[in-house]
Amino acid sequence: MSRKYDVCIIGSGAGAGPVAFELARAGRSVVVLEKGPLIKTAQFNKDEIVSSRRDVYTPRLLDEPQVIEWKNNENEYVSKSNRHGGINLWNGNVVGGSSNFMSAYFHRQKPNDFRLLSEYGPIKGANIVDWPVSYDDMEPYYTKVEQEIGVSGRVVNHKFLEPRSTDNFPYPPLAENIISSWIDKAAESIGYEVIPLPRGILSRPKEKRNACVYSNFCGSYGCSSDAKGSSRAALLNRAIETGNCKVIPYAKVFFLETNGKNKVVRAYYHDSDKKVVKIEACLFVVAAQAIESSRLLLLSKNKEFPYGLGNNSGQVGKNLLFSAGGVGYGYFHKEDFSEEEFQKLMQPGVFVNRSMQQWYEIDDPAFGKPVKGGSVDFLFEHANGIGKAIRQKWDDDGHLLYGSAFKKKLHHYFTKRKKLTFEVFNDWLPTDNCFVTLDKKEKDIWGVPVAKVRIDNHEHDIKVGKYLAQKAENILKQMGAHDVGSSISGNPPPNLQAGGCRFGNNPATSVLDKNCKVHDVDNLYVSDGSFMPTGGSVPYTWTIYANAFRVADKIKERF
């Protein structure tokens, strides 16, 4: 006879870990179903082939394709399966999800992120709404994340500093490269303000987790010291230790069965042998990341929910969000520095950890009225040598380099220059033309319809992103950087997904209530980034963690 759990959680990333952790500590029996493998800390080495050239942490597209829809040059929507390559929106399909591979830039959303409509008014073509909860509702959970996940940094007062219930982060700042002080000096000299960037990475040990070892490989790589605050390292390992939490890897959930009314009774998944297994529970939580969470609800249609579970309003999959903005860069040449300065600049492993939020709200005549702005985070070019080398394979005339000429260029690039980059984060406004449906033809290796994702962005996103990028470029130029530039576009970063199951008070216009319970289903919650009606102007992870802790408290109250 199969066991019935108190709670079944689908997914194991930032939206799942807090729920599993809190409920297991409260004595509830929890099962976590993760479609990917369990990779332990010791197995997260710094193999560049694994991390940059192989489908190890994400599915093989031949097995699990997606269909991507976009607007062509004739302004018509066209779609294509990525089975044989193309835009890939998979990431982090392992226990702990994409939180294993994040760079862990941890900014809180600010009060105006929760009131985008009431603060700045409507924007034509954008489905902007206020959140049904406020910053004050979320603040205690942001603080909880600082403690449980472990956030390192230094709080400084600035114009857009969000209200805090504590004076500082629980862990001191991580070690910094000398370039951080150069950024500070350059910004000050032109009247700009930069602030220390908090990171979800331990600067000193916490329980069984070690402090950062400054390996020089962080974003896109699993952490070999458990310093990075992944769901696996920070929460799931501790949940398992209670004896109340079981994590089942290689469990690809494809259907949620209801009792013919308004309760889910079973989750069905394919195991590693492609056999169908079912799990019974009193309560279910979906946290499979935005695209896959919407896909699962749409797949789980039945007589009571003919358009998908919780989709009688037609809102499941709608208003999908990514993170708007882009990247910028500048180069520092050896000949511009003393030997001692250049060696300090080239020191590997230590962080830049500088951010600019001076224009989190933009009051500039170019926009006609005050508008929501965003954040800029500074960082070095990723240490991955393969990626660096590939990007140097062309000469100045666009010809492919070989042999000694290529070697000479690589030697110069790796030893006589350093690339400082920046990332811009601003709102990806929700629109009618960015959403998830099921494809009618393409199926995965289990014969299940795959997600079809239409990608389109609002032109306002680009305008804000370019404004912020120009401010960051000004700092790089003041620092003496060469070949300064930026690229702001509507291309979606696959590791930053949200929306698709937005929460709200009106069941006709939202999928979830303010506590992230599906409106039409009594015992089904969605706790990943799907709940977000707008994404804010910072990376999503800290807010997803915080909200999942909040949802866990609501579920505990039910029990």
β-strand pairing of 30-33 with 245-248? parallel
Report pLDDT digits (tens) over 57-116. Answer: 889 999 999 999 999 988 899 999 999 988 899 989 999 999 999 999 999 999 999 999
DSSP letter for 491, please: P
Could you tell me if residue 82 is inside a domain? no
Six token digits for residue 166: 């504590």
346 in any annotated domain: yes
Region for 264 from its dihedrals, namely left if φ exceeds 0, alpha if ψ lies in -120 to 50, beta otherwise: beta
Q: Look at residue 107 and tell me if it is in a domain.
A: no
What would the two tokens of residue 40 be?
């332990």
**Nearest-CA neighbor of 546 among 91, 218, 424, 538?**
538
Q: Residue ranges of the chain with pLDDT lower than 50? A: 1
Evaluate whether residue 556 is within a structural domain. no
**3 state SS of 130:** coil
> Domains in the chain: how many in total?
1
- pLDDT at res. 2: 65
Position 141 in a domain: no
- Tell me, yes or no, whether 104 lies in a domain: no
- Residue 187 maps to a domain: yes
* Tokens standing for residue 527: 């706790």
Tokens of 66: 């997606």
- Model pLDDT, residue 95: 97
- Note whether 424 and 465 are within 8 A (CB): yes
Under 8 Å between Cβ of 228 and 272: no
Count of all residues that appear for the chain in the document = 559
CA–CA gap between residue 214 and residue 348 (Å, rounded) = 8
How far is CA 348 from each of CA 104, 137, 217, 238, 482, rounded to the nearest angstrom? 18, 40, 9, 32, 21
Any residues with CB less than 8 A from the CB of 117 and at least 6 apart, and which? Answer: 128, 129, 130
Q: Which domain holds residue 412?
A: 153-197+324-427+458-491
345 neighbors 353 (Cβ within 8 angstroms): no
pTM of the model: 0.96
Task: Tell me what pLDDT residue 297 has.
Answer: 98
Q: Considering only CA atoms, which of 75, 31, 22, 513 is closest in space to residue 315?
A: 513
**Amino acid identity at 159:** K
357, 160 in Cβ contact below 8 A? yes
Phi/psi region, residue 129 (left: phi>0; alpha: psi -120 to 50; beta: rest), is beta
Q: Cβ(322)–Cβ(156) under 8 Å?
A: no
In this predicted model, what pLDDT tens digit does every residue of 324-380 receive, in sequence order?
Answer: 999 999 999 999 999 999 999 999 999 999 999 999 999 999 999 999 999 999 999
Sort strands 264-270 and 417-426 into parallel, antiparallel or unpaired. Answer: unpaired
Tokens 């666009």 correspond to what residue?
398
Q: Pairing between strand 276-286 and 264-270?
A: antiparallel
d(CA 513, CA 179): 46
Tokens of 198: 């908090």
In a domain, 358, yes or no: yes
User: Rounded to an integer, what distance in angstroms lies between the CA atom of residue 297 and that of residue 463?
Assistant: 34
Name residue, tokens 């000949």. Answer: 335
Complete edge-to-edge strand list for the sheet that includes strand 324-333: 195-196, 354-356, 374-380, 417-426, 324-333, 482-489
